[in-house]
Chains A and B, each alone.
Chain A
Amino acid sequence: MELIEIKGVYKEYETAVALRGVDLVVGSGTWCSVVGPSGSGKSTLLNIIGGLDSPTKGQVFVDGADLGALSEDALARFRRERIGFVFQQSYLIPYLSSVDNVMLAQYFHSMPDRLEAEEALRRVGLAHRLGHRPGELSGGEQQRVCIARALINSPRLLLADEPTGNLDRENTRLMLELLKRLHEEERFTIILVTHDPYVSKWAQRIVTMEDGKVIKDEPLYY
């Protein structure tokens, strides 16, 4: 079985339908972009893959686990051991330092380890920003903390929802380079949702969505 297998997923809300029958298979180690206009359902799809939301219909298998069959506690355990999230808003706890924010992810996983967290921040180039609060960091630096936090528990899957949405061109490039380096070192799978064509081209595969369905799915060759 591949890392991600999605079959016939529908997601309906009271007012709208976000996904209408999505099928997707993603192999391990792939960097996959999901693009489309706003409202196409790409964020919804990402949330469902990450277990943050559940489909109205359909099946979702991630890393061998049937997300629909997991209890809430099992789902939480699944998330913290196998998945890392990066969002457009950095969602860092404002009254904690960078190190503490990373340690938070460790805390829910098993136990906090300051040395490991500091090393992770060094790896993303924030050695001089360990004790700073998010308010004291630039947008790019904040997102780098998020990346360190997302990867601290060695997940097999990194889910990023418009991570560069608030960054300028230079910082976007820096961040994507960082992701690429880490991706090559750690070999995790990335699913990155974006509406920026420049960002999407960094991936190995582009999935295009519109109106809740996948309309195009093509690999990229360098």
Chain B
Amino acid sequence: MSLFIIEAAVVGLKEALKLWVVWLVMSAYLKDMGSPRLIRAFHMGIALTIALFAVSFAIASDPYVRTVLSRLTGYTFFVFFISSIAALLESTGTRLFAGLKPKEGIFRPVIALSTVFYFSPDIIGSSMFIRELSEMKGAYAAVYLSGFAGFALPFLLTALTLYKYRGGRTAAIAAIAPYFGTAQFLLFLSMVKLLGGGVKGFAEFSLIPMVQRGVMKFFHDFVHQTFVFLMVPDHPLLATTVWNFIGIFFGPNIAMAASLFILLAPPLLFLLKGATSPRGGTATPQGATGPGEKGAERRKLMASVRADRRKKAVPVVGFIALILIFYFSGGTGEVSRLYNPKPKPVVEDKGVIIIPLTDPTMDLMDGMLHKFSFAAEGKTMNMLIIKKPDGKLAVCLDACEICPPEGYGQREAHVVCIYCMTPIPVETLGRPGGCNPIPLNASITEKDIRVDVAEIIGKWQKVGGAGSVE
């Protein structure tokens, strides 16, 4: 239970930190733009978001909604990422929006709405998550409290320190401002999303796995459709070779490499372009102009242009470093932090699968996750069995209705869907729908568990993602 309290605090803290950090950089960025009205529009957006946040606590947590919100978070990341690329190209001279001159007045509502759009999926998802945590026995008030405490902490700290030293705030903003042009700012926003956008507590810290899986799915669908379209000939030898070839594209390694490429290519391109773009032009050409007014002034100008360009490259380099760090330590590591035992194969006995409660090698009542695999109709169907805190045994398929069946891992009091990283509290197992593992009707005797084979095959139809990855 104390784990839930900590999780709630961490989630609250994470959301508040996002708000706080974006506010700081936004102020630095807008300071150069000079318009106080834009800053006010931003504050209004924040106020709206916090209002939505408060309201969202009244909405019951629903796995479908959470999945949708999680997708929305992913989409906002991509929106800001793409616009940052557009801004990057713009800033290095590629004229994309030549001729587009938006009216001044349109910026304020755009900023307010974008702010809401940016923050609310995360915040609502997180509030739902906290609410779900709080529904655990006896943890109600404590969880909510710690969630709010985590949320309030950065603001309290800021109020105590920066505002006490007023100069501190302006100095901080002035120091940050030269590093963030429009492109850097948008990239920063998308990075904050990417690295802190998960709405599922501990199990999902960053969105990088989501990006990876999005790419994987995209490749899968694209390549599959292409080959179907091309109507691969029926020759058995050719078919096997072709399917093996396709298998390469489905492999996780290509998808991981592709997702890393997608994330890194634009910032790297920006750095490259920035390094080679023509020198800041002034009246006099480069070269032997001799000492004199023109010489020294020209050098000063060039030096300041260079310094500015170097400053603007710093956030980009930082993001690249962060992506790499998270990618190679967090992204795939999360899955390995889950306890995922290898399924033991079981066979049927007159249409029933019988699994003893204890045998020399295992004890189903030990509170750990147990998995069993059953082969039927050319597919491998996995089941999971785990003892719930109330003493009853949960018997389910190792798959849910929404995601491709990559199975579940266990983390303390949750089982986590490995595909979408949604944590399901063990206590709630047996409920159907959403990302819950599909429950099975099983008869539990003193010695064993009995499940009808027909039940397994029947329920497996419900598994998401068409039941198998080819």
Contact = CB atoms under 8 A, between A and B. Distances in A.
Interface of A: 81, 106, 109-111, 113, 115-116, 118-120, 123, 148, 151-154, 186
B235 interface: no
> Which secondary structure dominates where chain B touches chain A?
helix
B287 interface: yes
A32 B259 CA distance: 70
Interface stretch (B16-24, B290-298, B362-370): B290-298
B302 interface: yes
A148 B292 CA distance: 11
Interface in B280-305: 287-293, 295-297, 299-300, 302-304
Contacts of B388: none
B296 A152 contact: yes
A111 B303 contact: yes
Residue among A118, A119, A120, A186 having the largest count of chain B Cβ atoms under 10 Å: A119
Contacts of A148: 291
A109 B291 contact: no
Contacts of B303: 110-111
B288 A119 contact: yes
A106 B299 CA distance: 9
Contact of B300 (A110, A118, A151, A186): A110
> Which secondary structure dominates where chain A touches chain B?
helix
A120 B291 CA distance: 6
B224 interface: no
B302 A116 contact: no
A153 B296 contact: yes
Interface of B: 287-293, 295-297, 299-300, 302-304, 306
B295 to A, nearest CB: 5
A27 B287 CA distance: 33
Contacts of B288: 115-116, 118-119
B291 A115 contact: no
14 contacts: A106-B299, A109-B296, A109-B300, A110-B299, A110-B300, A110-B302, A111-B306, A115-B288, A116-B289, A116-B295, A116-B299, A119-B291, A154-B297, A186-B292
A119 B290 contact: yes
A110 B303 CA distance: 5
B290 A116 contact: yes
A81 B296 CA distance: 9
Nearest to B294: A154
Nearest to B303: A110
Contacts of B292: 154, 186
Nearest to B300: A110
A152 B296 CA distance: 7
Residue among A111, A113, A151, A152 having the largest count of chain B Cβ atoms under 10 Å: A113
A81 B293 CA distance: 11
A116 B297 CA distance: 12
A115 B299 contact: no
A113 B299 contact: yes
B287 A154 contact: no
A153 B292 CA distance: 8
A116 B291 CA distance: 6
B299 A151 contact: no
B98 to A, nearest CB: 32
Given A109-B299, A110-B299, A110-B302, A115 B293 contact: no
B238 to A, nearest CB: 63
A154 B292 CA distance: 5
Contacts of B304: 110
Residue among B291, B297, B303 having the largest count of chain A Cβ atoms under 10 Å: B291
A81 B290 CA distance: 17
Contacts of B295: 113, 116, 152, 154
A153 to B, nearest CB: 5
Contacts of A154: 291-293, 295-297
A186 B299 CA distance: 18
A120 B287 CA distance: 13
A146 to B, nearest CB: 14
B306 to A, nearest CB: 7
Nearest to B293: A154
Nearest first, the 7 closest Cβ-Cβ pairs linking A and B are A110-B303, A154-B296, A110-B299, A111-B303, A110-B300, A120-B291, A153-B296
A9 B265 CA distance: 62
Nearest to A151: B291
Contacts of A153: 296
A153 B300 CA distance: 10
Nearest to B302: A111
Given A109-B300, A152-B296, 12 more contacts: A81-B296, A110-B296, A110-B300, A110-B302, A111-B302, A113-B295, A113-B299, A115-B288, A116-B288, A119-B288, A119-B289, A120-B290
B297 to A, nearest CB: 8
Contacts of B306: 111
B286 to A, nearest CB: 8
A152 B297 CA distance: 11
A111 B290 contact: no
Contacts of B296: 81, 109-110, 152-154
A153 B295 CA distance: 8
A29 B292 CA distance: 15
A136 to B, nearest CB: 23
Nearest to A117: B291
B291 A152 contact: yes
